[in-house]
A and B are shown apart, each in its own frame.
Chain A
Amino acid sequence: MFDDRSPIYRQIADRIKADVLSGALEADQQVMSTNQYAAFYRINPATAAKAFQQLVDEDVLYKRRGIGMFVSPTARDALRAQGRETFFGQVVDPMVAEARSIGIPLSDVIKRIEQLEDGR
């Protein structure tokens, strides 16, 4: 269920972030508890708690004492802004490098992007 690439808690945190970005988790919506996450992913609850703590530190979630964890109202906008900052470096540049190494002209890549844009 998890890859070896990064710590499990970071992978859980990334999934919650992806849910916030896609709108599956909305502002002020309660997220599942640490124990529910631990049982679902079959992981130690301390690991799940670490993921939640990271998200609280990053202002993606906030804690309501005795009730649980909720999505910060500012989380989605903040994550979108972060995503825009890293998009070209993390997504576009590797794609261009891959296209070059397998010999696809960049003009073909641009054509494809334009087709996708027109298809909308």
Chain B
Amino acid sequence: MLQRTYAWVRAVDDVSFDVYSNETLGIVGESGCGKSTLARLVLRLIEPDAGTLRFAGEDVRAARPPRMKRLRRDMQLVFQDPYASLNPRLTIEDAVAFSLLVHGRPRAEARERARALLGRVGLDPRLYGRRYAHELSGGQRQRVNIARALVLDPKLLVLDEPVSALDKSVQAQVLNLLSELKLERALTYVFISHDLNVIEYVSSRVLVMYLGEVVETGSAEALSRSPKHPYTQALFASAPTMDPDRRMDRPPLSGDPPNPIDPPSGCRFRTRCAFAMPQCAQAPPALRAMGPDHAVACYLYEDAPATTTAAGR
């Protein structure tokens, strides 16, 4: 009525990727590049303006509500903020059991399974089950979040910065818990983080995002051995290291990402890129295969024959 749309933000634009079962796909990028939006799009918590979403071959966007409810059991999300992601009025037992009640399980069974799962993620249900979220620490809350996401026995778990709000020692515990659970339950992870160390540690394949677009994809190994895109290189160079010989003198990347309402023409990274060429302003570069499981969207590699850049160079 009295509303006007001033501008559209293309938070996620032309991102296309596959997740194979039982793998961990890491998605990395700096703050505000659209990672969380992507997570919510994958789970259809927000509807994309365009594009397709397939789960085990099924078009998720075409699913009617009853089918969608069934599909939701197979894909769950662990949130970033351990504080906003738990209802302050529910005991953690009830918070975990809620999803089961939604799917029509009897109350007693739901509670029993919730308690068992809380025990599995390291929270003794006798001690913690009847507690409220504000009585738990950040790490404990994140364990509750993981239990809540797992209680429906999903196949795909999207983890949106699951450890970013935790301190390092707790991060390690939660990451180990996640990898154990993945083996136990044959889970597939989409792991979103801005922390390259974490991504390298957990992922089999990595997707590097910049301002809503994919700039490089590849196996975690290929990417860390020979990052191609200038942005990926900068990310690796800026990751803190324990090696004093690799100490940084100046930041490899300066400035903030441009305004997503009005992104630069052509390659979105060109405004901060050390190798920017006139060509970069004209049209966005397409993803170009650099090896068996490695692709980059950058004009620097336009002429290089794909074969010579294969893994092992």
Q: Do A and B associate with each other?
A: no
Binding site for B on A (CB under 8 A): none
